[in-house]
Amino acid sequence: MTTNIFLFHPNLASSRANKALAKAAQGAGIEVRNLYALYPDGKVDVKKEQAALTATDRIVLQFPMYWYSMPSLMKEWLDQVLEYGWAYGSSGNALQGKKVLLAVTQGAGADDYTADGRFHVTTQELLKPIETIQYHTGLVFEEPFVVSGVLNLSDEELAQEAADYASRLQES
């Protein structure tokens, strides 16, 4: 099974967690496509991205949670690349049956993302709008890989999260 990571981080150079996850994935032989590096002007090459999606069996969308959602380029990418007639609609079945893994980092701790936590919402609830895409596209979403509290992780803890990520990516 071919796995490719579509990485959406607006400033990967300053990221500790997403950079570590991407490096671990590359070390495991998985292609990482840095979308902000590919499209610094925000203009997505729809056909190129559709070809990249077609060529993979398992799509990993890796991103930091921004204001309880996804970075802006990821939203733009989803809006443009998953177009009617290709990804959904009566003849849009290009993604049917492909697996999707959401790999998310959060600055705040896991306890903050609970019904009784600081934000009064769970991570699963925040990811639901993305996962709902499956009902139009036929994508199959896996259990997300979430790393919370990244602002406070020690180097050792981050290394363990990265190793866990690489292992998860190698599962079929």
Report helix angle 72-81 to 46-54, nearest 10.
80
CA 70, CA 79: separation in Å to the nearest integer?
13
Mean pLDDT of the chain: 97
- The domain tally of the chain equals 1
Helix (H, G, I), strand (E, B) or coil at 52: helix
**CA triplet 34, 36, 42: central angle to 5 degrees?**
140
CATH number of the domain where residue 110 is located: 3.40.50.360
> The pTM is what?
0.97
Q: Which domain holds residue 73?
A: 3-170
Q: Are 1 and 57 in contact (CB under 8 A)?
A: yes
For the stretch 13-47, pLDDT in tens is 999 999 999 999 999 999 999 999 999 999 999 99
